[in-house]
Amino acid sequence: MSPVIVRTIDELRLRVRELRAAGHTIGLVPTMGALHEGHLSLVQAAKDDGHKVIVSIFVNPTQFNDKKDLEKYPRNEAADVALLEPLDVAIVWAPHVEEMYADGFATTVSVSGITDGLCGATRPGHFDGVATVVSKLLLQALPDAAYFGQKDYQQLAVINRLVADLNIPAKIVGCPILREVDGLAMSSRNVRLSEKGRKTAALLFQTLSQAAEDIDSGKSVETVMSRSSEALLAAGFEAIDYLEMRSADDLSPMTEFDRPARLFVAAFLDGVRLIDNVVVKGR
Ligand code: PAF
């Protein structure tokens, strides 16, 4: 069945009330559209948990620190809705910018600490934009649970923090990264890669996985990180924003493997910023 497309907060609240009155619980899947299988897996996870699903589609201007990136962000609502149809999504919440950020809007949700490094260091204001819009989406839909992918691992950590700090009564569910057959993490940005770039892009995950294996087998973190960076640049990546091992719990920097860790990378290819992360298992 086609989802109902809702554009106003009043209508969203009314429809959520109706669903709850009919005995349903609500699962929210926040997205910026350009949906792919990764998003659909979040919808499936919400359905598997027994919820009626709301998918929000909103390209949030406040989280883009680069205006060109915002302009180039792929938008195709009709195609997105068509992808959601077979999944029996109840509501597509697709407000216009003016509904989300009305005249006089002046509030920012800012999470400190966890946003200091990684994407927070190179994308000033990005996580304030994410934290603000996710707080709004959660307060608008008041879901029982909200579903996010682990590809944006730092984003997930920020959202967990804000939900705890602001006592927002929604369970945050982090879902596994979905990958293409060659290992590239699914992302709405992948469509902007050239044919050649798309092939090279697979090296991001392959290099990260090899680095995790090397650290697992006891090699020095510093050496592995610098060799991996060199390998990516030699393969054609234009620049590396970061390639780091961090605590899987609080994202604090790690130079030795002494607690649960993940490797995080952000690198540019064809002018497209790609991110990924993998677990370091340790010996
Ligand atoms: O991950 C995204 O697509 C966005 O950052 C989110 C969570 C929908 C907020 O705009």
* pLDDT tens-digit profile, the chain (283 residues): 799 999 999 999 999 999 999 999 999 999 999 999 999 999 999 999 999 999 999 999 999 988 998 998 999 999 999 999 999 999 999 999 999 999 999 999 999 999 999 999 999 999 999 999 999 999 999 999 999 999 999 999 999 999 999 999 999 999 999 999 999 999 999 999 999 999 999 999 999 999 999 999 999 999 999 999 999 999 999 999 999 999 999 999 998 888 999 999 999 999 999 999 999 986 6
Domain extents in the chain: 4-175, 188-276
Question: Relative to the CA of 58, which ligand 1 atom is closest?
Answer: 10
Instruction: Give the residue, by CA position, lying nearest to ligand 1 atom 9.
Output: 130
* Cα 258 to ligand 1 centroid, rounded to whole Å: 31
Q: Which residues contact 264 (CB under 8 A, 6 or more apart)?
A: 118, 153, 154, 242, 243, 244, 245, 246, 275, 276, 277
Within 10 A of 53 (CB to CB), how many other CB atoms are there?
Answer: 26
Query: For residue 202, how far is its CA from the centre of ligand 1 (angstroms)?
Result: 23
pTM above 0.85, yes or no: yes
Ligand 1 pocket, residue 63 CB under 6 Å: yes
Residue 96 a catalytic site member: no
Residues in CB range of 148: below 8 A, 6 or more apart: 30, 42, 155, 156, 159, 172, 173, 174, 175
Is residue 212 within 6 Å of ligand 1 at its C-beta? Answer: no
Determine which one of 36, 39, 51, 96 is catalytic.
39
Residue tagged 């068509």 (tokens)? 82
- Pocket probe for ligand 1: among 54, 100, 150, 155, the residue whose CB has the most ligand atoms within 8 Å is 155
Is 29 near ligand 1, meaning CB less than 6 Å away?
no
Helix (H) or strand (E) holding 274: strand 272-280
190 lines ligand 1 (CB under 6 A): no
CATH superfamily, domain at 188-276: Pantoate-beta-alanine ligase, C-terminal domain (3.30.1300.10)
Amino acid at 118: L
- Domain 4-175, architecture per CATH: 3-Layer(aba) Sandwich (3.40)
